Chains A and B, each alone.
Chain A
Amino acid sequence: MTVTCAEADTALHAYIDGELTGSDREAYESHLRVCDACTDARRFQARFKAAIRGHLPRPALPVGLRSRVEAALAAAPARRRRFPWQAYPRVFTVGMAVAAALVLMVLNGQRPTRSAVLEQAISTFHHDVPMDVLSESCATVSDWFRGKVDFAFQPASARAAAHCQGGRLVNVRDRFGAYVVYQMTAGHRLGVMVVPSDNEPLAGSHQRLLQGRRAFVDSRRGVSTVVFREPDGLDYVFTADLDEDALANWVDTVYLGR
């Protein structure tokens, strides 16, 4: 079937918000492959979403608000305790169904249509997952990974104008990788994921040469991404709530250009 540009336009926002699934998504993506105007529109809207997010970090909590709320809660009337089936109604009813679905998904195997490394990096960044090691010292974070991943990993140090916050192990399919979160100036957050490559193709809306490396740049779901593969077989994925150009420039001049 064919989708017209007007129809593709109605799906555009759902697509960049990650709400377009299954055959809808396939129909939209197959239209993008033959239509430059809609591809431009997608890229523009994705970049705009990432830019809005990048320019509007969460404001800091006013001093005293937390204790004010805690005091108000302490003064509130006591609450009843809940039984597990009150707290987890859905878990009790559909737990088995979910387990069965998971088994099926594993059995079906994964279709490598999208870059697994990139998807993993974006979702790790989005969910702001807890860290295995919390430290502002990049050296401490680096030490923590020793023996846990099969490669030497040195997070960029203070020279990189971003401060380490912590790290965690991630796994992409059967590979273990390192994920480090940095705090950048003006409250921006940066995640760097390093994973041994399985030679799947990397992806992005356009390419840039960063210190001699061919990097793919993109904005998706409010996150800008830069990804490249090093000759030693490691994939590097940078994710940040910055504009994609700003992120690529930072990787180029600060992270790699030291």
Chain B
Amino acid sequence: MLFKHRTVQADFEREVMPHLQALYGVALRMTRSEGDAEDLVQDAMLRAYRFWDGFEVGSNCRAWLMRILTNVFRNRYRERAREQEILGEAETSAANLGQFQGAAPRDAESALFGRMLSRDVETALATLPPEFRLPVILADLEDLSYKEIADIMECPAGTVMSRLYRGRRMLQKQLSDYAMQASQADAAGSAAPVAEAADEADSKLVDFDSFRRKKEGGRR
């Protein structure tokens, strides 16, 4: 018995331990607290071990672990998450968006990238409501597919797309605000405001299906 236990544990550790740092990174960016992130990772690992039977060898282990981590996060932080959801709605109301329809004017763009600091990006990401922060983290930092993210968030792939779209735009707005503040502080202050473009973008949802339908219609 003991021997078997050891082998299964060794199997598990060989497969799962390499993803510890990735799990911790996501946990830290979701909880925004080192202590909470460590607890979350430990709970997720124990849970993963308990449900190890459910892991299909050869599938993406990191995505499987992220799903467990997200579940633990959701259960544990349900109360806090509920508060943030209310906050989140205010933050994402259309009036606050309205940048970066697509590209920014060139000079504003180079100001944005030229002045981008890791600290600011981290802060801007932390201000996103969790339901927008998670897909951005999973897609941009962890390189997971829409399908994997949809499994993790337990939502349709279309929802992943629209949350990513909005999440990225919130980040872009936040960071261009920082860039503008920085350039004003420089007194030279000549960086153009990045965002003349399009408030109407807010009303426009990411409707990828209509892109498909139209395309198919066009072919007929």
- A-side residues, CB < 8 A to B, are 1-3, 6-14, 17, 19, 23-24, 27, 37-38, 40-45, 47-49, 51-53, 55-56, 58-62, 65-66, 68-70, 72-74, 76, 78-82, 86-91, 126, 186, 221-222, 243, 245
Contact = CB atoms under 8 A, between A and B. Distances in A.
Nearest to A87: B57
A2 B34 CA distance: 51
A19 B164 CA distance: 13
Contact of A73 (B12, B34, B117, B212): B12
Interface of B: 1-2, 4-5, 7-9, 12-13, 17, 20-22, 24-25, 28-29, 34, 38, 41-42, 45-46, 49-50, 52-53, 55-59, 100-104, 109, 113, 116-118, 121-122, 125, 136, 139-141, 143, 145-146, 161, 164-165, 168, 171-172, 204, 206-208, 210-212, 214-215, 218-219
Given A55-B122, A76-B50, 10 more contacts: A13-B206, A41-B103, A55-B117, A58-B141, A60-B21, A65-B42, A68-B42, A78-B4, A82-B53, A222-B140
Nearest to B28: A59
- The majority secondary structure among interface residues of chain B is helix
Given A24-B215, A65-B38, A88 B58 contact: yes
A10 B122 CA distance: 27
A8 to B, nearest CB: 8
A65 B42 CA distance: 8
Contacts of B146: 14, 17, 19
- The majority secondary structure among interface residues of chain A is helix
Contacts of A91: 57-58
Closest 9 CB pairs of A and B: A41-B102, A1-B218, A78-B5, A44-B103, A40-B103, A58-B25, A55-B121, A55-B118, A79-B8
Given A10-B207, A51-B113, A81 B20 contact: no
A86 B54 CA distance: 8
Contacts of B208: 10-11, 14
Given A37-B102, A90-B56, A90-B58, A52 B219 contact: no
